[in-house]
Structure 1
Amino acid sequence: MDDVALAAGGGAGVTAEVAVLGAGMHPWGKWGRSFVEYGVVAARAALADAGLQWRDIGSVIGAGTVRGGYPGYIAGATFARALGWQGSRVASVYAACASGAQAVDAARAQILSGQADAVLVVGADAAPKGFFRPAGGDRPDDPDWLRFRVLGATNPVYFGLYARRRMAVYGDTTDDFAQVKVKNAAMGALNPRARYRSPVTAEEVAASAVVADPLRLLDICATSDGGAAVVLASMEFARRHGHPEPVRIRAVSTVTPRFPNTVLDLPDIATDSAVAVDPPGGTFRMSIAGAAYEEAGIGPEDLSLAEVYDLSTALEVQWYEDLGLCGAGEGVRLLRDGATALGGRVPVNVSGGLASFGEAVPAQAIAQVCELTWQLRGEAGGRQVAGARVGISANQGLFGHGSAVIAVR
């Protein structure tokens, strides 16, 4: 797509792009093996897809997993060693669910600065069964540890509160949420890399066990093992190696939330003298998407598809609004109209999403970029979005980590 057309969505925009030469994944599941094995399989698949040898890679960025112990903390070096030392740079990134996207951003920075021509980005996880909890023992200075331990608000509880709020404010129903699962399961059934590959009915969602009212078991994603990798390169390197028109990453957003500057209005109590201001408009997730749109010079109207973090069915509906696909409270209408289904105006989670994969934390944001790559190349088979030219991935992780990646063809 030419730059003029992409810029039609507005925003300052930049033209600094990197090429996606290869994408690879280890299928999701519960395999009972080391995360390193999953990452190596994904890395080799990405290299083969790019038509490159391991020795062609100048840098490895590993998306970390704290559950992997020391090897997980030094994921870049761990994967480089497993593939065979060959002198490449290494770096490791940990940012909860946004780890993969921050690894992509680090790789992009190395390429654009001239430190490396081709960078391998890898993330993999061997996730425990059950609710995630902060690793490393008690951490009273960690707001997520406090949420889990003091409030008892494990992730499903958090998702349930979000769902209940949507029901109260916008009139969403549990039947609406179930339709997200039905949609995503239908796509996962077409994806050979997904863990769950069977269609699901709304009746099956309604019959599944209540986990955090109003959400049921099939409303919430599982935890999984899996791995994903991409090979990124400069545009010059891409052309030299037989990729004249590759998929390109045009923007990466890794913003954090904003807190308003407020003044307490209490009698006889000294308060901060700073002038109070209105809270920032919109949600944190709107900021995540907005920063990516501004950098890419596009708007939501330019999107062909989106891959979002559907930790629960209700959260996917929230993403429709936060990505600007519709106004506040209109997400369910978009869903009911089929706009986010395959063949709709902006298909969302045609990979099957977390509903079909489960969550392998450091791999997930990279897996989203893999799906965008295959869609923009026209290589997604039965779940292909016709004429896909622009895609966005988005997620939100613990401790204020958020990310979005915009890819174009």
Structure 2
Amino acid sequence: MTGEVAVLGAGMHPWGKWGRSFVEYGTKAARDALADAGLEWGAVQSVVGADTVRGGYPGYVAGATFARALGWQGARVTSVYAACASGAQAINTARAQILAGMAEVVLVVGADAAPKGFFAPAGGERPDDPDWLRFRVLGATNPEYFGLYARRRMALYGDTVEDFAQVKVKNSAAGAANPYARYRKRVTAEEVAASPVVADPLRLLDICATSDGAAALVLSSMDFARRHGAADPVRIRAVSTATPHYPRTVLDLPDIATDSAAAVPEPATGFRASIARGAYEEAGIGPEDLSLAEVYDLSTALELEWYEDLGLCGAGEATKLLRDGATALGGRLPVNASGGLSSFGEAVPAQAVAQVCELTWQLRGHAGERQVPGARVGLTANQGLFGHGSAVVAVR
């Protein structure tokens, strides 16, 4: 397909709390990706950095920051910010440059050094930002928000805290086999139940941590990949970067309308479902074609929401997939074979890049103990503040 670009290299810095600069993490991931691609830094014609708002000015100009750290060599630089979807937006920017003929080889890097505790809204007062208002007016920090989603699932579909715990059990088993994961210990349902309540009904082990970490990709045109000797590389076939449809802009709740919204036609799908739909349509595939998926599991309950939004099952049927073992390693369609954010924590600009790194290794058959047998098609899904949605389809 004319819209495909090759993934020549993937690299990561392990997630954790290392107490060092995001630049160090990103540079390490970039060098690993270049080594994986078999390319020298001088071959890179463009660098796209996913911004971090916690790194001061260097974080706002991440593309140039990483180019400088690797050694100025004249490459084009671009910096991208889309909150938790920054990495996918950076991938999409790199792909667009390649398909437009602006560059043949592009390095994508995302890295973060996260503070301890909850993420606070960055950038000062933002009264026109609904997410800022959620924090400041409602006092609904992210864990509280995740708890509301969990309660909604319990009320609508009968999900239980035991179901949520099983998502953590599943993901910790995968993360235990991932050398880049922060948490590499299998967790039992009893350990989840014994952890402190953070935002009822969610406990500490139901919610992802904040982390340091980095991920990088080397992307190229298909012509360059062939000249470089990569006859059958992993390919990015689609990138969806979606925004909500009015009036369903946040919760996708049924039967909610105001007088002003009543005359507005309801969208065919909610926001998260539209993210996946855009990727499926561009790639010419459907959920039945997937070998695996990497989704944005800020909480255990939110992972279940993604099963339904990706079309892996119908509304309210996510727990059946989970209980049947379909989404675990060895199941019909593993979800978060990497271990997910449950095992990594959030390094915000890196996480959507890390998802594609995992797809790359899985589609190459290089994922070790967590390998999905015969993996051919993978999908990522991610969502950032202020209406940033993203999904990437990778194939081989």
Asked if the contact 1:391/1:407 (under 8 Å) is kept, the reply is yes
* Mapped partners of 1:263, 1:45: distance in 2: 50
Q: Deviations over 1:70-115 (max 9, x none)?
A: 0000000000000000000000000000000000000000000000
How many residues align? The count is 389
RMSD, aligned α-carbons: 1.4
The equivalent of 2:177 in structure 1 is 190
- CA 1:398–1:263: 2 relative to 1, 3 Å: closer
The equivalent of 2:23 in structure 1 is 36
CA shift for structure 1 position 277: 3.8
* Matched ranges for 1:197-236 at <5 A: 197-236=184-223
* Matched ranges for 1:128-139 at <5 A: 128-139=115-126
Identity %: 81
The partner residue of 1:251 within 214, 219, 238 is 238
What letter matches 1:216 in structure 2?
Answer: R
Q: Give the SS at the match of 1:44.
A: helix
* Matched ranges for 1:51-62 at <5 A: 51-62=38-49
The equivalent of 2:253 in structure 1 is none
Asked if the contact 1:36/1:82 (under 8 Å) is kept, the reply is yes
What residue ranges of structure 2 are gaps of 5+ in the alignment? 249-255
- CA 1:263–1:188: 2 relative to 1, 3 Å: closer
Asked if the contact 1:39/1:228 (under 8 Å) is kept, the reply is yes
- CA 1:241–1:144: 2 relative to 1, 3 Å: same
* Mapped partners of 2:134, 2:97: distance in 1: 36
The equivalent of 1:348 in structure 2 is 335
CA shift for structure 1 position 142: 1.9
CA shift for structure 1 position 15: 4.0
The equivalent of 1:117 in structure 2 is 104
Asked if the contact 1:22/1:232 (under 8 Å) is kept, the reply is yes
* Mapped partners of 1:28, 1:247: distance in 2: 24
Q: Deviations over 1:370-408 (max 9, x none)?
A: 000000000000000000000000011100011000000
* Mapped partners of 1:84, 1:104: distance in 2: 22
Q: Deviations over 1:247-273 (max 9, x none)?
A: 0000000010010499965xxxxxx7x
The partner residue of 2:280 within 293, 302, 306 is 293
Q: Give the SS at the match of 1:67.
A: coil
The equivalent of 2:224 in structure 1 is 237
The partner residue of 2:316 within 316, 329, 340 is 329
Matched, 1:319 2:306: yes
* Mapped partners of 1:116, 1:282: distance in 2: 36
CA shift for structure 1 position 281: 2.5
Q: Deviations over 1:208-248 (max 9, x none)?
A: 00000000000000000000000000000001111111000
Matched, 1:127 2:114: yes
What letter matches 1:300 in structure 2?
Answer: P
CA shift for structure 1 position 278: 3.3
* Mapped partners of 1:158, 1:312: distance in 2: 10
The partner residue of 1:50 within 21, 34, 37 is 37
The equivalent of 1:89 in structure 2 is 76
Structure of greater Rg: 1
Asked if the contact 2:165/2:300 (under 8 Å) is kept, the reply is yes
The equivalent of 1:372 in structure 2 is 359
The equivalent of 1:24 in structure 2 is 11
Asked if the contact 2:247/2:257 (under 8 Å) is kept, the reply is no
The partner residue of 1:146 within 110, 122, 133 is 133
Asked if the contact 1:95/1:397 (under 8 Å) is kept, the reply is yes
* Mapped partners of 1:214, 1:281: distance in 2: 30
Matched, 1:279 2:254: no
* Mapped partners of 1:121, 1:136: distance in 2: 24
* Mapped partners of 2:61, 2:124: distance in 1: 20
Q: TM-score, normalised by structure 1?
A: 0.93
Q: TM-score, normalised by structure 2?
A: 0.96
The equivalent of 2:373 in structure 1 is 386
Q: Give the SS at the match of 1:187.
A: helix
Matched, 1:167 2:154: yes
Q: Deviations over 1:32-85 (max 9, x none)?
A: 000000000000000000000000000000000011110000000000000000
CA shift for structure 1 position 299: 0.1
Q: Give the SS at the match of 2:7.
A: strand
What residue ranges of structure 1 are gaps of 5+ in the alignment? 1-13, 266-271
Asked if the contact 1:263/1:276 (under 8 Å) is kept, the reply is no
Q: Deviations over 1:259-299 (max 9, x none)?
A: 0499965xxxxxx7x99243113221100000000000000
- CA 1:55–1:178: 2 relative to 1, 3 Å: same
Asked if the contact 2:245/2:270 (under 8 Å) is kept, the reply is no
The equivalent of 2:52 in structure 1 is 65
* Mapped partners of 1:179, 1:241: distance in 2: 44
Q: Give the SS at the match of 1:382.
A: helix
* Mapped partners of 1:338, 1:157: distance in 2: 28
